[in-house]
Structure 1
Amino acid sequence: MSETEARLARLEAQLQALQDHVAVCQLIARYGPQADTADTYERGLKVGALWAEDGVYELAEGWAGQGPEGIAGLLDNDVHRALVRDGAAHIPSAPHVTVDGDRATAVNYSRVYKHVDGAFTVWRVSVNHWTLGRTEEGWKVLRRTNRLLNGSDEARAVLRTIDQAA
């Protein structure tokens, strides 16, 4: 391989890494607006479409959904419909993303604001660990673990996953 070919190969690899990083960040950023419009099971399927067919969304206290339909089912309840109806905002922090070939991990915070009596209040503050995979359809969530930042050992364990990040 000539020096020019080697340089071109390095540039192509760097460009792919940047494109993958952006794609993962964009996928995570889509969750909030889609969750904030998921007032029906059908809208919840749009959220679920962010996940792989066997992808898992694991929340504390035994709540979990698997696959697009399972994720939609997590949002298909009176509490979530009331959030959407009354006004809510799922706001993620910028994720720390590590891409390794066709797999990626990300760690970020998320806040859910709830509209109450003309003002927004913070309803939930959580930490998230995301595992994502490249599929034929693009990047998909393989697993999202979400824990409330309530001082629990479980929440600290999710926060500590940042230690494995590159």
Structure 2
Amino acid sequence: MANADEKLAALERRLAELEDRMAILQLIASYGPAVDGLDREGVAALWAEDGSYDFSGTPLQGRDKVADLIDLDTHRAYVSAGSSHILSLPRVTVEGDRAVAVNYSQVFVKDGASWRADRTSANRWDLARTADGWRVTKRTNRLLDGSPGARDLLQRS
């Protein structure tokens, strides 16, 4: 039978893992409100200094370039019409100071009296623990349009 010190150490490990997972969930949940609110600083705060975001085009490299996505014409059109970036609860794997989270995202856009889903994507978030907490080192987003890119993204995670 484990002694009190061993039990305490095991509980501390479990608590630390739960705290890591919760921090990652909070980080990912912050993305939608930040981009829909045109919060450049909020978007930038999610990424590591050298982090990237690849959404089927030329990847945005570096925290500031990722934050600049709120100024893209397509993004501004979404926000002007009324938009909502909805992210599913991710599957999170933590290994030391690295983590991977996989989820789905949908972008809803106001269309007259109703809303329509304009984009539905698979996402892989690569994260690292930094001095400032967990940050995104790379986000890969692929449209769920029947092409193998999104399926591959989901399968390799």
User: Shift of residue 5 of structure 1?
Assistant: 0.7
> Which residue is equivalent to 1:54?
50
Residue of structure 1 aligned with 2:82, choices 87, 93, 108: 87
User: Shift of residue 63 of structure 1?
Assistant: 2.9
> Which residue is equivalent to 2:156?
161
Match of 2:156, SS?
A: helix
The aligned amino acid for 1:123 is D
User: Shift of residue 66 of structure 1?
Assistant: 1.6
Q: Which consecutive unaligned segments of at least 5 residues does structure 2 have? A: none
1:10-49 alignment, distance < 5 Å = 10-38=10-38, 43-49=39-45
Q: Which consecutive unaligned segments of at least 5 residues does structure 1 have? A: none
User: Shift of residue 24 of structure 1?
Assistant: 0.5
Q: Give me the whole-angstrom Cα distance separating, in 2, the residues matched to 1:151 and 1:45.
A: 34
User: Shift of residue 44 of structure 1?
Assistant: 2.5
The aligned amino acid for 1:21 is R
The aligned amino acid for 2:7 is R
Question: What's the TM-score, normalizing by structure 1?
Answer: 0.90
- Residue 132, structure 1, aligned to residue 130, structure 2: no
Q: Give me the whole-angstrom Cα distance separating, in 1, the residues matched to 2:61 and 2:44.
A: 9
> Which residue is equivalent to 1:110?
105
- Asked if the contact 1:105–1:132 (Cα under 8 Å) also holds between the matched residues in 2, the reply is yes
Per mean C-alpha deviation after superposition, the further-off stretch among 100-109 and 78-87 is 78-87
- The alignment yields a C-alpha RMSD, in angstroms, of 1.2
User: Shift of residue 45 of structure 1?
Assistant: 3.5
User: Shift of residue 118 of structure 1?
Assistant: 2.0
Q: Deviations over 1:52-86 (max 9, x none)?
A: 001110111x2321222110222212221121122
Q: Give me the whole-angstrom Cα distance separating, in 1, the residues matched to 2:96 and 2:53.
A: 22
> Which residue is equivalent to 2:8?
8
The aligned amino acid for 1:87 is G
Identity across the alignment (%):
48
**Regions of 4+ moved over 4 Å:** none
Q: Give me the whole-angstrom Cα distance separating, in 1, the residues matched to 2:46 and 2:33.
A: 12
Q: Give me the whole-angstrom Cα distance separating, in 2, the residues matched to 1:29 and 1:118.
A: 27
The aligned amino acid for 1:31 is Y
